[in-house]
Amino acid sequence: MAGDHQEARRPHGELVADVLAVLWAAGEPMTAQQVKGALSQGLARTTVATILTRLHEKGTLERTRPGRSFAYAPVSDAAGLAAGRMRRELEKEPQRDLVLKRFVTSLSADDGDVLRRLLAEVEAGAAAPAGGEPALEGGM
């Protein structure tokens, strides 16, 4: 019996990924009860609510209160969240140029080509008059 309970437990990171996947697929804010129903993993609503609250506190989700319960929506897509994590890690480092150099030299040839193309697009966008930021995030 105890083994059944242990097998049903999933690593926290997987649960967080599943919750985010549900929210991205929904395309609209969801309550903890709605997320729990979409996961259909037999989780307690309080477990899902705790995950949602922690993701909100980290800035990963935004929270509204359309009724009696909070509803949550991602502030960014998966690529935006990964880019944010990369940026935060880079900001922690005193030798940013060395970190960037090591990162760039570790890229595959294909990733290096993509990075060069994106840098060229950003430079071209910066040179454009009254344009603002180029729209890279939605296109990738």
> Please, which pLDDT band fits residue 9 given cuts at 50, 70 and 90?
low
Confidence at residue 137, expressed as pLDDT on a 0 to 100 scale: 42
The answer to whether domain 2-74 has CATH 1.10.10.10 is yes
- Domain range list for the chain: 2-74, 78-139
Confidence at residue 14, expressed as pLDDT on a 0 to 100 scale: 87
Sign of the torsion angle spanned by Cα atoms 140, 63, 48, 50: positive
The pairing of strands 61-64 and 71-74 is antiparallel
pTM of the model: 0.61
**Mean pLDDT across 20-43:** 92
pLDDT digits (tens, 9 = 90+) for 86-110: 998 999 999 999 999 999 999 999 9
Confidence at residue 8, expressed as pLDDT on a 0 to 100 scale: 52
Residues 6+ apart with CB under 8 A from 103: none
